[in-house]
Structures are given as C-alpha cells and as structure tokens.
Amino acid sequence: MLNPADAAFAQRLATLLPEGTLAPAEPRYLEEPRRRAVTPQALLARPRETAEVARIVSACAQARVGLIPWGGGTGLVLGQVQPEGPAPVILSLERMNRLRGLWPEENLMIVEAGMTLAEVQAAADGAGRLFPLSLASEGTARIGGNLATNAGGTAVLRYGNARELCLGVEAVLPDGSVLNGLTRLRKDNTGYDLKDLLIGSEGTLGVITAATLRLFPQPAATATALLAVIGPEAALELLTLAQIRTGGAVTTFELIHAQGLLFLDEAMPELRQPFADRPDWSVLIEIGLAPGLDPEVVMTGLYEAAEAGSLVRDGVIAQSGAQARALWDLREALPEGNRRIGAVVSHDISLPLSEIAEFLRRAGPVIAAIGPFRVNCFGHLGDGNLHYNVFPPKGGRAADHRDKAGSIQRAVHDLVHALGGSVSAEHGIGRLKTRDLEAYGDPAKLAAMRAIKAALDPAGIMNPGAVLAP
C-alpha cells in the first residue's frame, strides 16, 4: 500500500530540494484534455536538474509515496491523472527544458525531457536538420512524455514512432538511481535494451529526464496532394504504388472519410474544401523528395499511374507551399470538427494493412446493430492506424448516448482483436485501457510485464495504476 504525499512528507522532501521546487498542484496539473477524470489532490514537484529528480524519486521510494511523471499533460488515456488512491507527487519536467547539445554532422541532439515537441523541432530546424516526430499537440506536449508514451503522429510511415527516433535516454529508475544512457552511438550491443523498455512504459518503470534524438536531412522538396480514392483497398494499392515509385519516400498517407468532411461542413462551414462533392474516401499524401526530383512531376506521374490502375477518381496536387498548407489544414481540422460534433466514443486502433478494408466492411453493420450512429474514420492509413470514432445521429447529442459507449467499444475492440489488430495503436494504455490490455493482451506478455514491474519497482510507486491495473 502507498502513503499520501501529505504535509509531513512535503516538509521532509523540501529539505532536500532548492526552494520553490515544491508547491500544491494547481488544477491544470490535475486534469486531462477530455475532462473525464481528475486527480483530487497532489503535491507538485518541478525540479531543474536530474539530481533533484533522483532525490525526489528516492524519497518517494523510501516513504512509499506514489509519483506521476508529468510532461505536457496532453495524453488521451488518463496516464497523467489518478482519480483514486493516496495523493501522489506530480513530477513535472517543465523546468528541465535545456538543449544539451546538437551535432548536425552526427545527425543527433541531446534534449531534456521538458522541452516541448515544437521546441525540439525548432532546434533541429535551426541547425538545418529535421526531427520528424509531429502531432497535433506538439506545442504543448513535451518530449519526455512523447517518449514515455512512444508517440506516433503523421510521419511514422517514413521515420518511425518516438521509439525509432531515440538513440538513448537518461532516466531516474524507481529506486532513485540514474540510468546514464545518453549515447551518441548508432550501434551499441552491450547488454539489454533498457531504452526501449522505458519508452512506451508510460512512466511506470522510471522517469525519462533526457534523451538523444535522431535527426535527418531535410527533404529537398515536398510533394503534397489530396486524392479521392475508389475505396480503402484502392488506397492501399495507391500506397504500394507510391512507395515503389518513390523508393519508399512517402512521409504521410492519411485516410479521410466523407463523414469527416461533412462534419466540417456542419461545424466549420468557413473552411474551404477542395472537392465540391465530398468523396467517400480520400487520402492526404506527402512525399519527401531527394534533390534532383521535381515534386510536381513525381506527384503527377503517380496520379496518372493511379488513374490508369483505377485507384483514384479525382485529385488536387499542391502547386505551392500555401496550397500544401491548405490541404494539411483540412486534415488537421478533422479532430476539431469531431470535437465540435462530440463523439460518443473514440477508438485508436491499428490493423494489419490488408485487413483494413475487411474491418471497415464488418464494423459498419456491427455499429448499426447497436444504434443509428454516424462513424467518422480517419487516420494514419500507412501505419494501419485508424481513429474510428462514433457519433450521435444528426441533431443528437453524445451525452444522450453514453450508455451505449461501452457496448460499441467492446464490439469494435473485439473485431479489431479478431483481425489481429491492436486496441491502442498510438495513445497507450494509461488508466483508461488497463482492462483492455488484460482482456486482449497475450498472457505470457502480461506475466512478463508484471515480473519486470515488480523487479524494478517493488513498492509500486511509479505512476501507480497506469498500464498494469493493481
């Protein structure tokens, strides 16, 4: 059993830290973006140095006080809020936001966990390099949280998740020891891969305090288009065609369903849309090109080949950066359109690429059998990652259908699982999906996870209740 981070504990902890490190947590540290749960009370710690993090973790371990590592607070699965149990320490990394180094010739940088993702991108850009991780909340999300949750986003297809973009981490382990893993090495086969164990563990095995990140050459040119495709199968054939024609240079391949465009008509009528009639399925495609290739030539050639193969029926090829930006604005408006309509329930799923069409065929009737809902499906098709979100009938309100949310979600997740998919493609488990992990997770994997958690965090202080239910 854990103890609360009460006044006596705060007082003892304060003697180990510079003045101003501790404070009662203000509401913004206790909430999460969709306001589905709050932490009732917590002690806020905002250290400036790794050694201070180590002292805090060590004190928590000795006193058996729970601790929630806190980045930008943008997570969507309740990994940053603890509605029940003794008051925890919220360990915010926001003051650890230094760029420790950037080596353009090595294509890497060392950043502290509290830099926002946008700051990390800007630092890379300033050195003529690309840090490709990109997602909607990048202005607020911090890189430590991106790594702890193995964040995905819109460039995974070409560059990988947060995991693939990280060469090493510095982290404070649950006993307060500091793992010094800030390697600048591309190859290092000396022992177990603790970096990847910490990445995606959502703060349950340690606190990432800094990381070595991979950088890339900036593409010489970018080709962007919005293409209306015949259907989901055609979209996948288009992806294969694009990869072969560009030598694997497709950066983004985002699927958009007509429902999303209709929601934008409803919720954001001021937004100009490129197609007069909203196509059933369209794809936002972006290709990062090597020098010597003309973006318009490459994209036009792709379009013509796709047309010859009856994969596309219409398309808009961006002729300028501004036109490309307008296409992206449309894609990025989709979540906001969803928010304004109000979803009954959302799903962050992934599927084997060749099962996506089958999933879409079978999921529609499954949901229709529960009620007359509208479905908006969009997402990172190139990664097999769909955001399959279910909305009330036109004119209805999500709140009036909440009683159906559980059965919709179960039906969708059962189908995803049956097709070899995942019920959390990029958002993680947090506290929202611990039951799903138990229901769908491999038993040997769960047993090994519990053994590792118990071995590294015997008191269970690190983000208690997240990932593995008590």
The footprint of a second copy on residues 373-392 (CB under 8 A) is: 380, 382-385
Please give the Cα distance from 361 to 342 (Å, whole number). Answer: 24
SS (H, E, C) 274-296: CCCCCCCEEEEEEEEECCCCCHH
With DSSP H G I counted as helix, E B as strand and the rest as coil, what are the percentages for the chain, rounded to 5? 40, 20, 40
Rule CB under 8 A: choose which of 191, 269, 395, 470 binds a second copy.
191
**Angle CA 136–469–10, to nearest 5:** 80
Please give the Cα distance from 216 to 219 (Å, whole number). Answer: 9
Q: Closer to a second copy by CB, 289 or 333: give it.
A: 289
Amino acid at 68: I
DSSP states of 231-282? SHHHHHHHHHHHHHHHTS-EEEEEEEEHHHHHHHHHH-TTS--S-SS--SEE
Q: Are strands 207-214 and 166-172 parallel, antiparallel or unpaired?
A: antiparallel
Instruction: Verify binding: residue 352, a second copy, rule CB under 8 A.
Output: yes
Closest listed residue to residue 435, CA positions, set 159, 153, 78: 78
> Of the ranges 87-95, 255-263, 318-326, 425-433, which one interacts with a second copy (CB under 8 A)?
425-433
Closest listed residue to residue 286, CA positions, set 360, 221, 207: 221
Q: How far is CA 244 from the centre of its chain?
A: 28
Instruction: Verify binding: residue 470, a second copy, rule CB under 8 A.
Output: no
CB of 399 to a second copy, least distance (A): 29
Instruction: Verify binding: residue 237, a second copy, rule CB under 8 A.
Output: yes
Q: Closer to a second copy by CB, 39 or 246: give it.
A: 246
Q: Closer to a second copy by CB, 40 or 352: give it.
A: 352
Instruction: Verify binding: residue 358, a second copy, rule CB under 8 A.
Output: no
CB of 23 to a second copy, least distance (A): 29
Please give the Cα distance from 438 to 460 (Å, whole number). Answer: 18
Phi, psi of 98 (to 5 degrees): -90, 145
Q: Closer to a second copy by CB, 51 or 455: give it.
A: 455
Instruction: Verify binding: residue 423, a second copy, rule CB under 8 A.
Output: yes
> Of the ranges 323-331, 365-373, 403-411, 419-427, which one interacts with a second copy (CB under 8 A)?
419-427
Rule CB under 8 A: choose which of 26, 125, 188, 304 binds a second copy.
188
Q: Closer to a second copy by CB, 108 or 324: give it.
A: 108
CB of 240 to a second copy, least distance (A): 5
Rule CB under 8 A: choose which of 49, 196, 280, 414 binds a second copy.
196
Instruction: Verify binding: residue 152, a second copy, rule CB under 8 A.
Output: yes
Asked if 389 and 345 touch (Cβ cutoff 8 Å), the reply is yes
- Give the binding-site size for a second copy (rule: CB under 8 A): 99
Encoded one letter per residue, x for contact with a second copy by CB under 8 A and - for no contact, window 77-106 reads --------------------------xxxx
Q: Closer to a second copy by CB, 269 or 292: give it.
A: 292
Quickly list H helices, 40-116.
Answer: 50-63
Instruction: Verify binding: residue 135, a second copy, rule CB under 8 A.
Output: no
The footprint of a second copy on residues 105-134 (CB under 8 A) is: 105-107
Instruction: Verify binding: residue 51, a second copy, rule CB under 8 A.
Output: no
CB of 398 to a second copy, least distance (A): 25
Instruction: Verify binding: residue 156, a second copy, rule CB under 8 A.
Output: yes
